[in-house]
Amino acid sequence: MSEDNNWEKLTTESKVVSVGRPAKKPDGGLNPPIALNSTFHTGGPIGYARSGNETWSALEDAISSLEGGKTLIFSSGMAAIGAILSILPSKAIIVAAKNGYQGTTTLLKNLHESEKLIVRFVDLANTKEILAAIPGAQIIHLESPTNPLLDVVDLPKVIKFAKESGCGVSVDNTFATPMNQNPLTMGADISMHSVTKYLSGHSDVLLGSLSTNDPALYSRLEQARKYGGAIAGPFEAWLALRGIRTFAIRMQRSQENALELAKRLANDPRVSKVRYPGLASDPNHALAKSFMKGFGAMISFEPIGTPDQVDLMCDSTKLITNATSLGGVESIWERRRRWATESETIPENLVRFSVGIENVDDLWSDIKSAFTAAKIS
């Protein structure tokens, strides 16, 4: 592509195939190399391996083109969140979900209890509660849709109010992905990803990322990565970049499957509740439709039965994997309250279901067989 062409005018489907490539030259490789270097000759911008890597840069460029900001990659999603928290002053006030991702809430609870930060935990499904907690806070960390309840935050309203109140905003964009929303264009300071999930898409990488439009904030986060040591491996970065090439088509198929399965689950008498923002019956459907371009590939639902029955159901499938992760080509589910650190606000029977790219009828057959095996009727 010539320098005159504007990358921003490309669709996501085209960006993911094209970005993060080496400059064109005769006999040059189409893909970036795996830069296995810890030592560099003097005189360049890297200097030492904690400061940069050619393979990192290619992945960072790719994510930047999707998110619309400048990106840093980290060794995991939690490392990325840790970098944000590390640049806050002692006893800073942060607003965060009490019913969000348990890794984040556990970390924040520990920091709150040790009095390193003051955390105002809020229900992200309650906009009034969120807005009331923002004045005086240094930052608010949002998830939308939330993990695992799939509540949708009114991002345009909350971000606008936070910025007007002098409060920084970070958004975990892992569930929605850049296919469906771009927090930075709404005014957020940081868009965060567990790159392990949809961006990589093959359950073989552990990585995280932070994207921002603020050069000063970028510099502080870069320093946090450099001196905190939460750097990515070049091979993992290369795998993630390869995964991004098929991100758009994977996400499209997974979303189509998720909507169809959510409809079938919602009509099944063995299920008491289904949450998926794409369902017209979902309480957040209208809100999600107002600013999201799609609804993602995550479903949460509550089968009718005991927790033991639900565990047996999750473990009785042949196609769907009973495991903790999401965003891969394969379908994965689990009962979230099997984890002791999961919030007590999460229903005991809630199943978090990451819908993959398999044939939707095969997936439905697998679900029905699992219901039968667990005697859920």
Active centre residues (catalytic): 50, 101, 172, 197
**What is the Cβ-side half-sphere exposure of residue 99, based on CA atoms within 13 angstroms?**
20
Q: How many whole angstroms separate alpha carbon 319 and alpha carbon 357?
A: 11
Neighbours of 344 (CB within 10 A): 9
Given its phi and psi angles, is residue 178 left (phi above 0), alpha (psi -120 to 50 degrees) or beta? Answer: alpha
Instruction: Assess whether the previous peptide bond of 277 is cis (omega < 30° from 0).
Output: no
Taking the C-alpha atoms of residue 302 and residue 361, their distance in angstroms, rounded to an integer, is 21
What value, to the nearest 5°, has the Cα angle with vertex 342 and ends 296 and 320?
A: 50
Strand partners for 212? 70
Largest CA distance in the chain: 69
Question: With helix as H, strand as E and coil as C, how does 262-325 read?
Answer: HHHHHCCCCEEEEECCCCCCCCCHHHHHHHCCCCCCEEEEEECCCHHHHHHHHCCCCCCEECCC
Q: Which helix (H) or strand (E) holds 170?
A: strand 168-172
Instruction: Return d(Cα 185, Cα 191) in angstroms, integer.
Output: 10
3-state helix, strand, coil in the chain (%, to 5): 40, 15, 45
Query: H or E stretch including 351?
Result: strand 351-354
The helix (run of H) or strand (run of E) holding residue 18 is helix 12-18
* Helices and strands, counts by H and E, the chain: 12, 12
